[in-house]
């Protein structure tokens, strides 16, 4: 079920309502006092809602297509106004949900007009709840700004959502590192593989977010006040930081893999050393014992003290080999 | 056999015909009502057809050469008009066919004039069928636009053809990953190698497609309406997405290889551990048995209870080694 | 406990005092003779101090937020003045402390006005002590310059703090290299891993420092004298050098890892060679001895000289194998 | 022996002669009808020839030095004319010879004036033969263009010479790939190494060729007609394609190495499995046999049916181990 | 001991003298005929000399600091003149000395004025000797140019000093490659590591040299004649070539490491094959012999022909295994 929420506010007043009858709502005039109107669509399974809004607010068909085409790269597109058609700024962002161990990203589409902001969220969970509550607060300074400031607040919320996920990965990476270095086993190697894969995916979401912010920062737009651009710079910095962190985690993960491989090789060396030491000592000794077990005329086997001599031989061979191993630093 | 199709349309009318007698066709005037003429050449084995069209539409010799030279990189070239010679935009694109497990790419050359579009496809399969049918539909809004919009539609069809192929690779990669992580065998390692190779080739096709779109987006051309450039931006985004996906698959594949190598090393470790444990326990025991098999005067062998003592020795040695192995976490 | 120090100076006079009652201090006028006022805040645990300073010096709310948000990337932000609001240059730098074996970075925020510099240090240790002392010296030429020169001096102190840390890493890398090449053991491989990890982190701090300097160098600012920009170029060069060194150490560390892996492989080869030589010689000989230990009618075992013949056989087999090993260059 | 060929042509006439007496030739006037004069020097072992031509055509000393300094990177240098000194465009290209299995590159230097082209080839083999013959043909359209078109033809010949060499490498790579995947042996690994090395060298020759073409495309020059620049774009595309191919081969070769390493590891695994299975089964059995070969009082050895019991024990141990191996999927 | 040499020249005259009393020398006027004065300081251990020259020639304090701070990156800095202070171009270059097997770099600082060039060399060995001698020659055309041409000559000497060092590395790389591929041993792997390390360091010196030249080429400077810039282009080309070579050697060295690792793996495979073949054949045979050595009632051991049967069994087992090994291509 798609849920549509309309939030109107001015510095003095604030009103938020869930829209049930969209047609009636769109036909009504917006209240006089309303300085910014924000229509938030949660869920995309009712195309007729999107169509109605697109007609009402004269959105470009290509942009409307992009709302429901859910594999968009984050981007900002300027649809300049012409004649009586108002200009629109179309932004696609990608939010990330801190699911258990798996990155799930959600596409968010935003249309900015002069006094109106339309947002379309892919998933039912409302990631803009916190922003709405902040605006609702009587003391909020956000209400003094225009619609582009609201756009900033929402994108900021999307970008700040990356940090807790990254922290999760940082912890996970530390765990895997600890585990691999103390007890290298196949299971942890797989965990590391999964972690790297998630980081690749996270990076794929984060890079274009930075490009998006750079574009918003660089290109002027009629609907974005000069004032708001200072705030966009802040979000841009956050994106840069997120990418820095992802790249750092990726490099550390690569280092862990290498260290893991050398730990495995070392372990193998150790195993082989034990085998070689034991075999090298006892295989010759077994041969000597085998010689004296032969059923033929072995002259020295007749001696009384031969048994002692035999152990002397064994001790000499074994001791000599042990000395040799120690000289080679195997023991 | 080369097949030539001529499609004429205006917002109101639509006519598509297969040309059998090219000479007669080129001599005839185009109908008055026709706003866009699209001549589609399927197959390149009849050079005289290409020559005739090149003469009629005053195509540049270098561009004509490029049509039949089938290893072109995707590119856009502007041949500006001069005097009575009309300007032409020459585009070479590379389409991809979803063959079973093997990337096959096909070169498509397009010449855009003010009201005419010429297209040359390398392979007999018509990848533009769907576009033609869409235009043929009475309600099509595409007919209201000019020839450059048709160019957009065709390039869009080419680019969108990459997505199903990528999806195939995504599935294949998941399979290989699953297989390698559960039962690492040589066969799957080869599958992975083949997959990586295909991705390298796909990337080689996709990168210049993006450059091509960036160029179309950046450079103005007399035959491309300002309106159409908004649509080119859309195709550019798709290209960027395709490259993102390819790079992501390549990184994941690299990760799979690494994990595979560590799985193989782990397996080797396990094998060696079994060998070492068995050998290290039984080789010394065999030596002890060998000692008491010697045909010489072994004093303790005369004892009645020596057999029990022997087993005691064996148990002590074996148990001691097992304990040692457990302490080293081998068992 | 936050400690606030106010340093006033002109070419002739110098005065530095610790502020205990900030309110009273901010209410007082600055002395007539004072050309540059530098307020240094050490520690960020008293937000009311930051708030008071921000109000007094009209700092932008976003910048003030960044002071206490301790994971900022180094950056320079220009908050241009407008009307009666003075312009501010906001700089976030990242200093590095030479702790034992662990990189610890500290965030430093600086606000530059025309005649005032505000600095906020994260950690209690005062990294600007040396600069203050240098200015205090009667013969200091630094006092002849304006506030932007003080900014240069402080950033220079931050950047020069990287060099001793890098020297530590250089020594550490040499040690690890020496150790790994003579006695490759797991412990040193872990040290190498830790070293690489630290370098990744150091790089993350150093790269944006260079960007920061490039930005200061490139962009004019009303509070930065043209003269000072020559000095910024110097700091930029130092940043470039630091990054060069970090990248060089990273490449050398990567080379050490590779060499370590091949040392481990070589060692394994050696171990296996010993095992193979011993086993290959004695396993067949043991078989021969075993044959003559069989309790069945073995005709040749009855011969008197069989024992000598047996040793001849053993010598032939053993000698032949040794020769073969030498031919293969195993011994 | 240096061979100098002079080729004069106009749209109507064509004349090519080998120059034996250079002094006399340079003193003579060029024929009235001659529109383009091309002097081709084959071999660089007679510096006096180069000197004489440099004097006659006023070539810059630095450029003349570069002709004989045979390790130049491909480049284009503009020596603009001044006063009565005519402008010159100096181009150094690097041709590649399809030798058996070894890349051999040859340096070609070209000086372009308004109506004259001087070319200097390092090696005696004439790579421009084909171009000269094409111009000689009566129907050649090349003769209608000026000297810069000749420059295009020659550079095009140089660049097109890369394609057969690349095809060779493609075949070689396929062979090595096939061989390595079916029978990984050291010899093929060396072939792969050699192939990679050749690709590195080829890349070193090809990259600056593209830069060279980009420069010719970008920078206007008084001796290059606007018309010719369209043709340069064509050569640029070929260079881009060559580099694409080289990079693709390099990536595939890297993939082959990885797959080879995993094939070798797999093989090792297999070998070790055989050894481990055999040893693990027979070493315990040998111990059992050894026990019953001891010369002491072994009570159960007295039993009549002990031999059958012995085989039962052996069967149980062996069968149990085989079952365990199968459970671990080793067999 | 610091050695100061002053070289004065004009197209007609040349004079070079070692300065012993710097104060007296600086007080004297420069001769009328002198067009270019070059003061060369060899060794930096007498700071008072540098200070005296800096005062006399009005060098910027930051630049003077850089002379003695010996870890500068190569760079060019423009200190533009103002009022009566003449403009200066400050260049720091890094020369490389062909020491035995170890890259040693030396910092060279140069100050260019309109008619004066000051150079400061770190090491006592004079790398500018050759240039001075060339200028001293009566027929030298260098004397006809101004001071910026001398700057070109000196930087050219520095850059050309890289080539013999690179050649050394090329030879060394070939040796190591040869050695590793025929007899992979640990010693050569270490040589390779050292070689790679040296290349990393050489690269670190060479990259900024290219940037330096690019900067000199790009930025106009009052002290550099337009004419000289053509020559700078030549040095830039040499730098590009040096970097190309270093990168090529690095890639080849990386290839050698890979091939070395696969050679080691192959060798290991071979060793293991020998061990496995011998063990797999003789361990079962030893078991058979052990069975017949048991002191119990073994019925078939009583047979007369049992010995022949025993050898038949052994032959069958051994032959069967050999066949199996051949089928698997192990022999």
pLDDT per residue over B228-245, tens digit each? 888 898 899 999 999 999
* Residue A268 contacts B where some CB pair is shorter than 8 Å: yes
The pLDDT tens digits for E306-328 are 899 999 999 999 999 999 999 98
pLDDT the model gives residue E158: 93
What is the SS3 assignment for A33?
coil
- The answer to whether residue B147 scores a pLDDT higher than 80 is yes
Select from B210, B237, B262 the last residue of a domain: B262
The pLDDT of residue C326 is 92
For residue D191, the chain E residue with the least C-alpha distance is E259
- D233 sits in which H/E element: helix D226-292
Evaluate if residue D300 carries a pLDDT over 90: no
Mean pLDDT of B58-81: 85
Nearest to A261 among B262, B286, B299 (CB): B262
Residues E196 and E213 in one domain: yes
Kindly state the percentage of chain A with pLDDT values over 90: 35
Please name the residue ranges forming H helices in chain A.
22-27, 47-56, 61-68, 129-136, 147-160, 162-182, 186-218, 226-292, 306-327
Q: Are residues E34 and E114 in the same domain?
A: yes
Same domain? For E163 and E183 the reply is yes
Within 8 A by CB and 6+ apart from B81, the residues are B87, B88, B222
Is the pLDDT at D315 greater than 90, yes or no?
yes
Are A165 and A96 in contact by the 8 Å Cβ rule? The answer is yes
Q: How far is CA D183 from CA B22, D188, D189, E244, in A?
A: 56, 9, 11, 36
Q: Is the CB of B244 less than 8 angstroms away from the CB of A73? A: yes
Distance CA A199, CA A249 (A): 8
Judged by a CB distance cut-off of 8 A, whether residue B278 touches chain D is: yes
Give strand pairing partners of C76. C91
Residues of B in contact with D274 (CB under 8 A): none
Number of domains in chain E: 2
Angle of helix A162-182 relative to helix A147-160, nearest 10 degrees, comes to 10
Task: Please give the residue of chain D at the shortest CA–CA distance from B191.
Answer: D259
Q: Is B323 on the interface with D (CB under 8 A)?
A: no
Confidence of residue A45 (pLDDT cuts 50, 70, 90): confident
Residues C291 and C256 in one domain: no
Chain B CA closest to residue A273 = B276
Q: What is the pLDDT of residues A76-135, one digit of tens each?
A: 888 887 777 778 899 999 998 876 667 788 899 999 998 899 999 988 777 888 889 888
Q: Using CB atoms, which residue from A196, A274, A307 is nearest to B298?
A: A307
- Average pLDDT of chain A is 88
Nearest by CB: B262 against A73, A189, A302: A189
Q: Chain E within 8 Å of C296 (Cβ-Cβ)?
A: yes
Phi, psi (degrees; rounded to nearest 5) at D228 = -65, -30
Calpha distance E62→D196 (Å, rounded): 48
The closest CB to that of D189, out of E262, E268, E276, belongs to: E262
Q: Which domain holds residue A309?
A: 268-327
- D65 inside domain: yes
Cβ atoms of E118 and E41 closer than 8 Å: yes
Which one of A291, A302, A326 makes the best mutation probe of the C interface by having the most chain C beta carbons within 10 Å? A291
H/E element, B23: helix B22-27
pLDDT tens digits, residue range C306-323?
Answer: 899 999 999 999 999 999
Q: Of all residues in chain B, what percent carry a pLDDT higher than 70?
A: 98
Using pLDDT thresholds of 50, 70 and 90, give the confidence band for residue C300. Answer: confident
Could you tell me if B20 and B165 lie in one domain?
A: yes
**Range in A52-66, A171-185, C236-250 with the lowest mean pLDDT:** A171-185
What's the CATH number where C301 sits?
1.20.58.340
Chain D nearest-CA residue for E231: D62
For residue range E118-141, list pLDDT tens digits in order.
Answer: 999 988 777 888 889 888 887 777
Q: CB under 8 Å to A269, separation ≥6 — which residues?
A: C264, C267, C268, C271
pLDDT score at B239: 93
Residues A245, A315: one domain?
no
Structure confidence at residue A101 (pLDDT) = 60
Tokens 């190598």 belong to residue: B261
Closest Cβ–Cβ partner in B60, B279, B301 for D295: B301
Please compute the mean of the pLDDT values over residues A211-237 and round it to a whole number: 87
pLDDT, average across residues C6-31:
89
Co-location of B206 and B79 in the same domain: yes
Residue for token digits 């700092």?
C59
Question: Percent of chain C at pLDDT above 90?
Answer: 35
Q: Which of A73, A197, A268 sits opposite B237 (nearest CB)?
A: A73
Secondary structure element (H or E) that encloses residue C261, with its range:
helix C226-292
C131: left (phi over 0), alpha (psi -120 to 50) or beta: alpha
Mean pLDDT, chain C, integer: 88
Nearest chain C residue to A243 by CA distance is: C204
In the structure encoding, which two tokens stand for residue A202, read together? 């996270």
Question: Cβ–Cβ of A280/C278 closer than 8 Å?
Answer: yes
Quick check: C272 contacting E, CB < 8 Å? yes
Whether the CB-CB separation of A222 and A87 falls below 8 Å is answered with yes
pLDDT surpassing 70 at residue B101: no
pLDDT at res. B80: 80
Per-residue confidence at D93, pLDDT binned at 50, 70, 90? Answer: very high
> Is residue E84 pLDDT above 90, yes or no?
no
Reply yes or no on whether the pLDDT at D312 is more than 90.
Answer: yes
* pLDDT value at residue B136: 87
What would the pLDDT profile of E199-234 be if each residue is shown by its tens digit?
998 998 899 999 999 988 888 888 888 888 888 988
Tell me which residue of C155, C210, C237 sits closest to E77, measured CA to CA: C237
Does D319 reside within a domain?
yes
Q: Would you say residue D317 has pLDDT above 90?
A: yes
Q: What percent of chain D has pLDDT over 90?
A: 35
Q: Which of C242, C262, C282 is the last residue of a domain?
A: C262
pLDDT for D101 beyond 70 = no
Q: Is D83 on the interface with E (CB under 8 A)?
A: no
Nearest by CB to B306, which of D261, D265, D296?
A: D296
Q: Is 90 exceeded by the pLDDT of residue A315?
A: yes
Would you call D264 and E261 a contact, using CB atoms and an 8 Å cutoff?
Answer: no
pLDDT at residue D95 tops 80:
yes
Backbone angles phi, psi at B96, to 5 degrees: -125, 135
Q: Are E122 and E108 in contact (CB under 8 A)?
A: yes
> Is B260 near chain D, with CB under 8 Å?
yes
B100 has a pLDDT exceeding 70? no
Mutate to test the interface with E, among C258, C292, C302, C320 (most CBs of E within 10 A): C258
Residues C205 and C70 in one domain: yes
Question: How many Å separate Cα A32 from the centre of its chain?
Answer: 44
- Judged by CB atoms closer than 8 Å, whether chains meet at D255 and B60 is answered as no
Rounded distance between C-alpha atoms, residue A118 and residue E52, angstroms = 71
Q: Is residue D267 in a domain?
A: no
Q: Same structural domain for residues B125 and B212? A: yes
Q: What pLDDT, in 10s, does the model give residues C2-13?
A: 899 999 998 888
Indicate the range of B58-67, B178-187, C73-82, E70-79 predicted with least confidence: B178-187
The separation between the first and the last C-alpha atoms of chain E, rounded to the nearest angstrom, is: 71
Question: What pLDDT is stored for residue A99 in this prediction?
Answer: 67
Task: For an interface test with D, give the residue of E266, E328, E331 to mutate (most D CBs within 10 A).
Answer: E266
Question: What is the count of residue pairs from D and E with beta carbons less than 8 Å apart?
Answer: 121
**Length in residues, chain E:** 331
Q: Could you tell me how far CA B139 lies from the centroid of its own chain?
A: 35
Residues E222 and E322 reside in one and the same domain: no
Last residue of a domain, one of D262, D289, D318: D262
Q: How confident is the model at residue E142 (pLDDT cuts 50, 70, 90)?
A: confident
Q: Does A313 share its domain with A166?
A: no
Least reliable range by pLDDT among B221-230, D282-291, E56-65, E317-326: B221-230
C181 at the A interface (CB within 8 A)? Answer: no
Tell me, yes or no, whether E76 and E132 share the same domain.
yes
């Amino acid at each position: 079920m798609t849920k549509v929420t309309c939030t109107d506010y001015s510095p003095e007043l604030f009103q938020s309502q869930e829209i049930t009858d969209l047609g009636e709502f769109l036909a009504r005039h917006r209240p006089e006092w309303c300085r910014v109107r924000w229509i938030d669509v949660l869920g995309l399974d009712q195309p007729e809602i999107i169509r109605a809004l697109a007609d009402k607010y004269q959105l470009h068909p290509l942009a409307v297509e992009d709302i429901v085409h859910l594999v968009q790269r984050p981007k900002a597109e300027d649809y300049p106004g012409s004649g009586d058609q108002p200009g629109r700024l179309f932004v696609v962002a990608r939010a990330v949900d801190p699911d258990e161990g798996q990155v799930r990203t959600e596409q968010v589409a935003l249309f900015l007009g002069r006094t109106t902001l339309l947002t379309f969220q892919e998933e039912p969970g409302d990631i803009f709840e916190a922003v709405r509550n902040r605006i609702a607060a009587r003391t909020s300074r956000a209400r003094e700004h225009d619609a582009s400031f609201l756009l900033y607040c929402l994108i900021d919320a999307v970008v700040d959502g990356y940090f807790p996920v990254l922290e999760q990965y940082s912890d996970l990476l530390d765990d895997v590192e600890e585990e691999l270095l103390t007890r290298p086993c196949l299971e942890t190697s797989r965990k590391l593989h999964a972690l790297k894969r998630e980081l690749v995916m996270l990076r794929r979401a984060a890079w274009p977010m930075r490009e998006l912010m750079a574009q918003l920062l660089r290109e002027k737009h009629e609907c974005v006040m000069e004032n708001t651009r200072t705030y966009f710079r802040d979000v841009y910095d956050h994106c840069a930081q997120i990418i820095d962190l992802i790249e750092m985690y990726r490099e550390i993960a690569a280092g862990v893999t290498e260290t893991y491989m050398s730990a495995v090789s070392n372990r193998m060396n150790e195993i082989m050393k034990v085998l070689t030491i034991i075999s090298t000592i006892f295989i010759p000794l077994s041969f000597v014992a085998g010689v004296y077990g032969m059923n033929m005329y072995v002259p020295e086997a007749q001696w009384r003290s031969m048994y002692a001599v035999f152990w002397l031989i064994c001790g000499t061979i074994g001791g000599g080999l042990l000395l040799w191993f120690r000289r080679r630093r195997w023991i």
